[in-house]
Amino acid sequence: MGRLDNKVAVITGAASGMGRSTAIRFAGEGAAVVVADLNEEGGSSTVRQCKENGGRAVFQKVDVAVEADVQALIARAVGEFGRLDITFNNAGLIGAVGPLEEITAESWDRTHAILLRGVFFGIKYSIPEMRKAGGGSIISTASMAGMQGGFGPTIYSAAKAGVINLTYCAAVELGKDRIRVNCICPGGINTPIGGATSERSERALAEAQPIRRAGQPEDIANAALFLAGDESEWITGTAMLVDGGFMARARSFARFSSDEWSGSVGFVGPSFQLR
């Protein structure tokens, strides 16, 4: 028996990275999956892999920034598989980069249209179908960069902070309908989001947090599976960090890495005695 038997899931950004990994995982757990992305070739490959993993899947080309596309995506899920239980708003990119004074309004708007407005559309059009189904689970991919400054490009980080608060507000509004709304805040995951993955990127990511390995798309798929399934039925309005402990250290030590102190055993401070 699969953990998502008889459930229907929509996953955006499923042609690559964490979205693809989640689609394959969900399909293997019994869900019928609508693989949505701008990238048709990658999307078709994900569909193939979902089927190889024993599941049902179809591809729908979508730009999540376009309202009619997202509306059509939800309609496709219901038309193809009869209902909607899970929406994973995951599509994303880096978007605007550079110093603030050089970022254009167009670049700000496009970044937010994909990373934040796209999530709003995904939530908006899932609601009526999930109500009909008696409830559902909406998951979005935010980022640890949405929780603090300095971990991602500025405009990206602002949009991800918006995803986190949209999650909280939607969870409050939709709890009465048994529609759960959560987001995942990944740390450094080795996906092609910033360019092709490599051994170098894998090594750099492995050094970044207390658990000394790079995050993998499968780590996010595992979290999404938990949030999608009935095991999390009393969990809503969470921003779940999946970061190998990065933020646990960042919050307490920020620039002063605890590694500095881990090599010796003793007693350090008070500070005036250290001068």
Ligand X SMILES: NC(=O)c1ccc[n+]([C@@H]2O[C@H](COP(=O)([O-])OP(=O)(O)OC[C@H]3O[C@@H](n4cnc5c(N)ncnc54)[C@H](O)[C@@H]3O)[C@@H](O)[C@H]2O)c1
Neighbours of 104 (CB within 10 A): 10
- Under the binding rule (CB under 6 A), the answer on residue 228 touching ligand X is no
- Under the binding rule (CB under 6 A), the answer on residue 146 touching ligand X is no
* 19/244 with CB nearer ligand X: 19
Contact between residue 116 and residue 130 where contact means Cβ atoms under 8 Å apart? no
Q: Which stretch binds ligand X (CB under 6 A): 25-33, 130-138, 189-197, 262-270?
A: 189-197
**Main-chain phi, psi angles of 239, to 5 degrees:** -115, 100
Separation of alpha carbons 240 and 184, rounded Å: 5
Instruction: Based on the residue annotation, tell me whether 156 is a catalytic residue of this protein.
Output: yes
- Under the binding rule (CB under 6 A), the answer on residue 95 touching ligand X is no
Place of tokens 């591809």: 59
- Looking only at residues 5 through 24 of this chain, which bind ligand X when binding is defined by CB under 6 A? 12-13, 15-19
SS3 content of the chain, % helix, strand, coil (to 5): 50, 15, 35
In the complex, minimum distance from the CB of residue 92 to ligand X, in angstroms, rounded to a whole number: 2
| Selected catalytic residue, list 26, 81, 125, 156 | 156
Contact between residue 33 and residue 24 where contact means Cβ atoms under 8 Å apart? no
**Number of residues forming the site for ligand X (CB under 6 A):** 28
Residues known to be catalytic:
156
Q: Which residues form the interface with ligand X (CB under 6 A)?
A: 12-13, 15-19, 37-39, 42, 62-65, 90-93, 114, 141, 143, 186, 188-189, 191-193
